[in-house]
Amino acid sequence: MWNYNFYVYLLSNQSNSVLYIGMTNNLLRRVQEHKSKITDGFTKRYNVDKLVYFEHFSQVEEAIAREKQIKGWSRNKKELLMKEINPTWDDLFELSNEQ
């Protein structure tokens, strides 16, 4: 069993019309990769680069299970989760860089 830092995160686009759920062991690096659009795929195609929610886990198995759980939810349920900590859909990555 691995014990490190793992994150499940939600990204959106500027108009908040698209949600993307991902998992990583380095949240800042991964969000920067999405913002830089260095990898072809869903987030590049739909301009999804705004970090709107994340959770931290110390075990990879927990993070994988949570990612799968959230991916199975309706959009409304995902929005309710995100709005608990970020009701105005702020870019949490940008906010962390302002501090």
Cα separation, 50 vs 56, in Å, equals 18
Q: Which residues contact 84 (CB under 8 A, 6 or more apart)?
A: none
Structure tokens, 57: 């886990």
- CA 86 to mean position of chain CA atoms: 12
On the question of pLDDT at 2 being above 90, the answer is no
Max avg pLDDT among 2-11, 23-32, 33-42, 89-98: 23-32
Whole-prediction pTM value?
Answer: 0.90
Phi, psi of 50 (to 5 degrees): -110, 115
Convert 39-61 into a string of H (helix), E (strand) and C (coil).
Answer: CCCHHHHCCCCEEEEEEEEEEHH
Mean pLDDT of 82-88: 96
Q: Decide if 20 contacts 66 (C-beta within 8 A).
A: no
pLDDT above 90 as % of the chain: 82
Determine the pLDDT at residue 39: 81
Say yes or no to pLDDT of 18 above 80.
Answer: yes
pLDDT tens digits for 42-78?
A: 988 999 999 999 999 999 999 999 999 999 999 999 9
